[in-house]
Structure formats: C-alpha cells, structure tokens
Amino acid sequence: MQHITGIARNQMVFTSLEESISEDNPVRFIDAFVENIDLKALGFELRTPKTEGRPSFNTKIFLRIYLYGYLNGLRSSRKLEKESIRNIELQWLLFGLTPNYHSISDFRKDNASGLKKLFKVFVSFLKDADLIAGETIAIDGTKSRAHNSKKANFNQKKLDRHLAYIEEKTQEYLDELAQNDELEKSTTITHIQEKIERLKKNKLHYEVLEEKLKASGEPQISTTDEDSRALLVQGQVVEVSYNIHAAVDEKHKLVVATHTINRNDRNALSAIAMEAKENLGVEIFTALVDKGYHNGREITQCKAENIRTIVAHPTLVNSNVNGTTKDYLVANFKYDRESDFYICPANQVLKTTGRWHKKTRDRDSYEFKKYRTPACKECAVKTLCTSRTGGREIDRSQYADAVEENNQRYRENGQLYRKRQEINEHIFGTIKRQWGYNHTNLTGLEKVNGEHSLIMLVYNIKRAMNILGVPDLIAKIKNWKSPYKRKVLFLQITNHFKLKSVVVFEKVLLVA
C-alpha cells in the first residue's frame, strides 16, 4: 500500500512569511495592537539607536514576544528565544528577528509600570468598542505562589523556635566537648567545635532577621522575595504567595481592573473598586463581592466614591454559649438613626453617652459607641440575652451606617448577587488551571504586579478575539481614537519627506 509522500528536503520552495499567516490569525491582532499604541506615552523604556556598536532591538519587538508568549502559555524567556527561531508565527511577528533570552527577560522586569498602564489602555479600548457595559462589576481574588519557599519565610514565633533549638544544641555540644576533653579525644573535639561554630553563624543569621522583622513593623519577613507573605490559600493551607484581585464586567466577562497585593482580602475592596471606576470612567456602578471583603471601613470608602456595594456579610455566630441566644443577636435589635438608640426584642431602649471609643486589631483601628440600658437589671429574659452582670452592651462602629445599607442591599438583591460567581470565578480557573499561571518567578511586588497585569491583558485580548473575531478587532483598534494611540499619519508624512530628501540628495550626487 502506497503511503502519502512529502516533498524532498533539498527542494527549493519560493514563499513568504506573509503567505503563511492567515487573516484571522491572532498574531495579526498583536501586530496591529502594538503598532497602534504609543509605548513612550505609557512609560515603557524605549531603546534608543546606538551610534556605535551593535544596534539594539526596538522595544516593540519584546512586547510582541511577551504578548504572543503569554497568549500561548509561554513565559520563560529561554523558551521564547527558542520559539522565535523555530516558530513561523513568531518569525512573522518579529520580522525574522531572534533576540536572546537575557534581553527578553530584562524587558519584563524593567517595564512593570508600562505593562500595568497597557492593561488599562486596553480596557479603555474595550469600553469604546462597546464590549464593556460598566454597570455591574464582580470582584474577587486568588493566590499566586511567590518565588519564596516556606522555609525562607519567618515570623517571630518561628525565629524563637530556631533560636531556642540552637541554644539547646549548643549546650549539648558544650557538654559533649567537656566529656571528650577529659578523655583527650582531639579528633572528636575538633568535630564538635566545628558544629558549635556553625551554630553560632546560624544564630547570628536569625538574630539579624529578628532585627529586620522588628524594624519593618510587619508580622513576617521573607528572605528570597521580601515582598511576599505567607497567606491562607484554602482552609488551613498556607502558602507564601501574592493576592491577585480582579474586577470583571458582567456584559462579556472582561477584566476591567486588576492589582496584586501581599495581604488578605479584608482590607482590599476599596482599592480595586476605585481602580475599576477610574479605568471605566463612570460615575457609579454596582460591585458584587464575597464575604471575605466585608469590612466597614472599605464599604464606607466605596460609598463615598459612589460605588454601590453588595458585599455578602459573614454569618453571625454566638461565641458566648452561656450568654446570647439566637433570638437576641445584634441583628434582632432595631436601631433608630434619628434618635441614636437601639430597641431590644423586649422593647427596652439602649442609649449611648455619645462618647467614642477606639479599638485596634490586626493593624486596623476603628471608633465605636457603646449602648446600654438599666432595664437589664430587672429583665425577665436577661439570661437569654447576655451573661454580663451589668447587662447587655452593644457596640456601634463609625462605619455602621454604610454597612447596614450594604447588608440591606444584599438581602434585597439575592438573585443579582448570585451572578457573582458566574461573572468572575471562571477567570481564575482559566488562568491558573488551563494556562498554568498559578505562580510567579519574579520577585518584588511591583514586578509581580506588572506580570499579572500582562496576564489579565492577554486574557482580555483572547476573549475579545473570540467575541468579535480577529479581522473586526483589528479594524476597531485601527479606527480607535485615543491619546495613547501612535500618530501613524505623522510618521508616514515624516518618512515621506525623509525619502524625498534622500532622492534629492542622490540627484545632487549624480550631477556632481
């Protein structure tokens, strides 16, 4: 049976890179996007032509490489160097240029700020292209493992354990040294002395870390990546990570804002919500957020910025088994805002002196007022309400008004809130499970932010291409009017005059 045969390897074939790339190939949009963006205006480090030595690569070449790489699951600079040699799509995109891996890697490290701005510019383009509504936004976060092991992360308790172990082992070796000294075993003595010296060096290392930890004012310190932190990932699982936040628009599930922090969700809501508002250029929108972000101060800041929050509130639990019963939880007390008092389920009034108290916890502080009533002393249901001798006491924080408004919206908009998961959670599944971007090899919060902005930018590009198709998206980017768009017409005119000048100069030479 005859098999299908290929062409001879030494046969010459006349073709071009252009013929090898179809009109709907994603690399054509990458090319159009990079060509139509003014990288200098976005703060990218532009490589200026050298007067001597080997010429440098244009900054656009490296941006093309990384957009293509992250779009296709490649982010290693060494792998991208190999692909630029053997991959026909990259050959077309780079005009046959093959930068080395070191130059490729430097671009990503040196342009974190530019990559963040590039993401925001693309969000602006998507808004102008009517792919983003900017009315309902779902906010969520996920953890990305840092380039720092658990062994290289320390808190005070861990340092105390290490120092205590060193003290214990040092004492053991000293006792052993004394015994061998009496027996005059010189080889053993030398071996023990070496161990003691090694322990002294380790002790000095941990003491230096302890001083750094105290000076930083932080609860923990990392040695490989100083900005990374041990964060709770799921259940009781802790990883040294970064926390990626994303705000996603309801219309086409496109990311409208993203930033990375090194702390948990509790103090992160207002920053990502205000970033989304800035990127969208809208006056007001509704933010759907899970209960991990429920924080009075953050909700109040969102209210001040005209951001309508619907944050799920944590389930109230009774921490005092012998005190408050379910029917007498704070949620069952009615607050009269005009008169500033509470009415308990037994119709007694709890009043305040108006004095503000301050409470500080986990580097977070807030003010609150206390509400009490003398009726508790003779109340028949006191045992169901509180175990305090002085009677029931309610604390009302300075953020209570905004929190109660948010909680009311949550109760009234259950169906809308249930859309939160379908809007934003699949994004992290795609990025981490399908693409494998569940960790970062970069160090430092700024650089990690730049990489995660690039990941979200590529996610938006891929989704926009699936929605509109590559040719239509290219047409829209070319017709887009933006202050960050490169002045193509001006460059064409400039090049025309340069070419004309060269022609005239050649004619003068011929006459001469």
Provide the pLDDT confidence category of residue 178 given band limits of 50, 70 and 90: confident
Least confident residue range of 102-106, 171-175, 389-393, 483-487: 483-487
Check whether 502 has a pLDDT greater than 70. no
Q: From residue 131, how far is each of 37, 138, 172, 256, 417 by CA, in Å?
A: 19, 16, 70, 11, 22
Angle ∠(372,375,376) on CA atoms, nearest 5? 70
Least confident residue range of 128-142, 289-303, 401-415, 477-491: 477-491
pLDDT digits (tens, 9 = 90+) for 389-426: 888 999 999 999 999 999 999 999 999 999 999 999 89
Burial call 186-224: b when 16+ CB within 10 Å, e when fewer: eeebeebeeeeeebeebbeebeebbeebeeeebebbbee
Q: From residue 380, how far is each of 101, 323, 375 by CA, in Å?
A: 78, 14, 10
Averaged pLDDT, 507-511? 43
Determine the 3-state secondary structure of 402 from DSSP. helix
Provide the pLDDT confidence category of residue 363 given band limits of 50, 70 and 90: low
Report strand pairing: 220-222 vs 229-234: unpaired
Averaged pLDDT, 500-505? 44
> What pLDDT, on a 0 to 100 scale, did the predictor assign at position 194?
87
Nearest to 404 by CA among 286, 296, 267: 296
> What pLDDT, on a 0 to 100 scale, did the predictor assign at position 6?
87
Most confident of 8-17, 177-186, 445-454: 445-454
Answer yes or no: are the C-beta atoms of 325 and 318 closer than 8 Å: yes
Averaged pLDDT, 451-480? 96
pLDDT digits (tens, 9 = 90+) for 314-350: 776 554 555 688 888 888 899 998 889 999 999 999 9
Angle ∠(364,305,293) on CA atoms, nearest 5? 40
Angle ∠(304,305,306) on CA atoms, nearest 5? 95
Place of tokens 């249901």: 381
Provide the pLDDT confidence category of residue 506 given band limits of 50, 70 and 90: very low
pTM of the model: 0.86
> What pLDDT, on a 0 to 100 scale, did the predictor assign at position 508?
41
> What pLDDT, on a 0 to 100 scale, did the predictor assign at position 387?
84
Q: Which residues make beta-bridge pairs with 350?
A: 342
Phi-psi region of 427 (alpha: psi -120 to 50; beta: other; left: phi over 0): alpha
Check whether 505 has a pLDDT greater than 60. no
For the chain, what percent of residues have pLDDT higher than 90? 64
Check whether 206 has a pLDDT greater than 50. yes
> What pLDDT, on a 0 to 100 scale, did the predictor assign at position 49?
65
Distance, in Å, from the CA atom of 92 to the CA atom of 84, rounded to the nearest integer, reads 9
> What pLDDT, on a 0 to 100 scale, did the predictor assign at position 489?
45
Most confident of 155-164, 169-178, 327-336: 155-164
> What pLDDT, on a 0 to 100 scale, did the predictor assign at position 191?
83
Q: Which segments within 90-227 are labelled E, that is strand? A: 136-145, 153-155, 220-222
For the chain, what percent of residues have pLDDT higher than 70? 89
Which token pair is 26?
A: 């994603």
Averaged pLDDT, 369-378? 90
> What pLDDT, on a 0 to 100 scale, did the predictor assign at position 383?
86
Which token pair is 449?
A: 């932010």
Answer yes or no: are the C-beta atoms of 258 and 271 closer than 8 Å: no
Check whether 7 has a pLDDT greater than 70. yes
> What pLDDT, on a 0 to 100 scale, did the predictor assign at position 204?
93
> What pLDDT, on a 0 to 100 scale, did the predictor assign at position 318?
52
Answer yes or no: are the C-beta atoms of 460 and 126 closer than 8 Å: yes
Check whether 222 has a pLDDT greater than 80. yes
Residue 349 CA, chain-centre distance (Å), reads 47
Sequence length of the chain is 512
Check whether 504 has a pLDDT greater than 70. no
Averaged pLDDT, 118-127? 96
Q: Alpha-carbon dihedral of residues 385, 386, 391, 394, nearest 10 degrees?
A: -80
Answer yes or no: are the C-beta atoms of 334 and 396 closer than 8 Å: no
Nearest to 460 by CA among 145, 155, 132, 185: 132
Provide the pLDDT confidence category of residue 499 given band limits of 50, 70 and 90: very low
Q: Is the dihedral of CA 372, 377, 380, 386 positive or negative?
A: positive
Check whether 185 has a pLDDT greater than 70. no
Least confident residue range of 184-198, 280-294, 299-313, 454-468: 184-198
Provide the pLDDT confidence category of residue 512 given band limits of 50, 70 and 90: very low
pLDDT digits (tens, 9 = 90+) for 424-449: 989 999 999 999 999 998 999 999 99
> What pLDDT, on a 0 to 100 scale, did the predictor assign at position 316?
60
